[in-house]
Amino acid sequence: MEEILKTFPQHVCSWLKGAIVYKYQDVWLNEVFLKGTILAQQRFKAHPNDVFLCSFPKGGTTWLKALAFAIITRETFDISTNPLLTNSPHDCIPFLEKELAKVEENQKNSCSLPIATHMHYHCLPDSVITSPDSVVTSNCKIVYIYRNMKDVIVSYYHFVRKLNKIPMENASFEEALDEFCQGISSCGSYWDHILGYWKASLSRPERFLFLKYEDMKNDPTSNVKRLAEFIGRPFTIEEEKANVIEKIIRLCSFENLSNLDVNKSGKHHPEECIAIENRLFFRKAKDGDWKNYFTLEMIEKVDKLIDEKFGGTGLVLK
Ligand code: PAP
């Protein structure tokens, strides 16, 4: 793998003290994502009814994982004993490109949990995206969560900065934004990521559910219901009357999860990666925090990019 890495184009991220990203299948990826992507492409075989939770980093992954886990396990655990109270959402639902062995073990045990991934659509293992006219049709379902692009940029800046232990005064937000707008990040270009899934959904819309972070905040109940129905675990009328949806929303809320001991001081240990402190996945969760960072010039630049990339799609990223 080390030898293969050297063959890909490289970019040095100056604002990140020289961290390197590699271009693979037209996507800039950090070493962890690159190695994980190649391994998943070589080894992973999707089961026809697998459900995938897909997102660009900082698009709402942690929240989506928590909600999907709580929905699926609601008959196994009472809210007061749910593993989400003592485990990070990232330890409840593994990433395909970071925890392949765990994903495969879940599959072997016929576990009904979804599989999470930050991989771009065109990089997914063949068995996930096999076209409908092929002999083996993939019926895998895909839930895709996305968020206002400016808030993703700010969230990404802080996450990566803290991961690399760089204080704010030494990490230029302007440089981070410039790189992001060139499609350079630990997981490539945000617009290509969204558009890859969106374009794929046009020919098989029944396989995709798109959720928007801001919409989920504004109307969690109907979005949690949509999610539960899509993943084949709709709420019964009795459950609705017993306020199960509201209890799940409360369990998975930023306020609840971010105040749990496990998410304040625990660590997430993906295979072959350095451990990540769970608290890094919980920062402010405020819509519009970007206003505290963007200059007028930056707003203009990102808005122009959004108009260029998403015009005509109906996707709202501003
Ligand atoms: P990941 O892709 O690396 O797992 P992801 O969970 O997508 O990260 O993004 C983290 C963002 O979601 C953080 O946003 P912020 O930087 O603007 O604060 C984090 O605070 C927010 N977040 C984490 N958990 C929740 C939650 N339960 N509800 C709403 N937002 C959340």
Q: Which two tokens stand for residue 193?
A: 């990521």
Report the Cα 106 to chain-centroid distance in Å. 19
Task: Report the candidate in 5, 84, 132, 120 with the shortest Cα–Cα distance to residue 251.
Answer: 84
Task: Transcribe 64-97 into DSSP letters.
Answer: HHHHHHHHHTTTTS-GGG-GGGTS-HHHHS-BTT
Catalytic member of 118, 120, 158, 268: 118
CA distance 296 to 304: 12
Contacting residues for 193 by C-beta, under 8 A, at least 6 apart: 56, 120, 121, 187
Fold observed for domain 45-310: Rossmann fold (3.40.50)
Per-residue pLDDT of the chain (318 residues; tens, 9 = 90+): 888 888 999 999 989 988 999 999 999 999 999 999 999 999 999 988 899 999 999 999 999 999 999 999 999 999 999 999 999 999 999 999 999 999 999 999 988 899 999 999 999 999 998 755 555 557 899 999 999 999 999 999 999 999 999 999 999 999 999 999 999 999 999 999 999 999 999 988 999 999 999 999 999 999 999 999 999 999 999 999 999 999 999 999 999 999 999 999 999 877 667 789 999 999 999 999 999 999 999 999 999 999 999 999 999 999
Rounded distance from Cα 131 to ligand 1 centre (Å): 32
CA distance 204 to 139: 10
Q: Do the Cβ atoms of 65 and 92 come closer than 8 Å?
A: yes
Query: Which residue's alpha carbon is nearest to atom 2 within ligand 1?
Result: 57
CA distance 216 to 36: 30
Which residue carries 């206003």 as its tokens? 291
Which residues' Cβ are closer than 6 Å to ligand 1?
Answer: 55, 57-63, 66, 151, 155, 158, 252-254, 257, 281-285, 289
Rg (the chain; Cα; Å): 19
Rounded distance from Cα 284 to ligand 1 centre (Å): 8
CA distance 101 to 94: 9
